[in-house]
Amino acid sequence: MIPELMKAAVLTAPKKFEIQQVPVPAYGDDEVLIRVTQCSICGTDVHIYNGHYSRDKLPLIPGHEFTGEILAVGRNVSTLTPGQRVIADINIGCGHCFYCRRNELLNCPEIRQLGIHTNGAFAEYVAVPARLVIPFGDAIPDNIACLTEPFSCVVRASKKIGLKIAESVVVIGAGPVGNMHIQMARLLGAAPVIAVELNPQRAELARRCGADKVITEPERALEQIKQFTEGRGADVVIESVGHPELYKQALTFMRPGGRLLAFGLTDAETEIAIKPLEIILQEQMIQGSVAGMGEDMHQALHLLTHQRFITSPFCEAVHQLEDIQQVFSSLFANPQHLKIQLRIAQQ
């Protein structure tokens, strides 16, 4: 039985969530309707909440880091069945352009992201194209499964930057995503893994999650990075904050021949100066990456299933959907929680 109405957290204006009864989304012949059980809150949701992103899409039901159970499938869907526990790739490309064929969906001219451009999962139900749905059985609980999307972003980023065994890595910022980058680097055999993080609780978490060294005094960062990398600078530097000053510093933390992963989101207008001659003569590289998609999602789910990540700091703070306004108004109150999750229904 599919109800007509559902409870949803609708962002009606920047910084204003309303819990509303809205129609359950219609699902097409090639789509499935998912009963959402849990959804975690992403930095992107915070940007949307503050009115810095997707503002023209309001009113919007955000939420893209979700897990749930299939309630109904469209007429053409033969590979999925109601009752299956699932997650979903949120990147809905056209499916046939140059970029979609190469799994570079974000460059597809028709890209839509669930919960960012169209209604997402801070709601009881969400409709998703069947080809993007990934069933996962009973191997992991909801609060781990809904971390697949964020971890898929660092899985993809590590592939984009070509992180190799025994390379030294500096991660600037050990917030939620920085912490995941630290774990990913460690998993891939990077050494040493160096974090730059000023907040004492997050610095401690960075250590717990795999950083060999944590730099807490920014003015000494360059000197310390050199010291930890035999005087050279890091093979790979990951900017995971999104600050122009930190991007400038990141360029200085790289060794000649090193690579910079641009990951922290800046404002659209932010610019930094670079010296092309240095990049050329030192054979350096700057690589961007933002979201996981396609295979990255499957790989992240696989790694989570095999407990390759320390997930406890990401899944211990769980709130009810009804409390969403309160949750968003006090998001950074507890830095030891790297993620806040919303419980939407029982598993």
Given the rule CB under 5 A, which residues bind Zn ion? 42, 65, 93-94, 97, 100, 108, 150
CB of 65 to Zn ion, least distance (A): 5
Nearer to Zn ion by Cβ, of 68 and 150: the residue is: 150
Q: Which is nearer to Zn ion, 70 or 100 (CB)?
A: 100
Q: Per-residue b/e over 299-335, b at no fewer than 16 CB within 10 Å?
A: bbbebbeeeebbbebbbebeeebeebbebbeeeeeeb
Q: Which residue has the tokens 């000053």?
A: 245
Closest CA to 143 of 38, 298, 42, 297: 38
State the nearest-atom distance from the C-beta of 330 to Zn ion, in Å: 20
- Determine which helix (DSSP H) or strand (DSSP E) holds 52, and give its type and residue range: none
Contact between 95 and 293 (Cβ < 8 Å): no
Which uninterrupted H or E stretch holds 187?
Answer: helix 176-187
Instruction: Specify whether the CB–CB gap between 41 and 65 falls below 8 A.
Output: yes
Sign of CA dihedral 122, 128, 132, 136: positive
For Zn ion, the closer of residues 46 and 222 by Cβ is 46
Identify which of residues 90 and 190 has a Cβ nearer to Zn ion in the complex.
90
The CB-of-319 to Zn ion minimum distance in angstroms stands at 17
Q: What is the DSSP letter of 260?
A: E
Q: How far is the CB of 59 from Zn ion (least distance, A)?
A: 20
**Minimum distance between the CB of residue 101 and Zn ion, rounded to whole angstroms?**
8
Q: Choose between 53 and 228: whose C-beta lies nearer to Zn ion.
A: 53
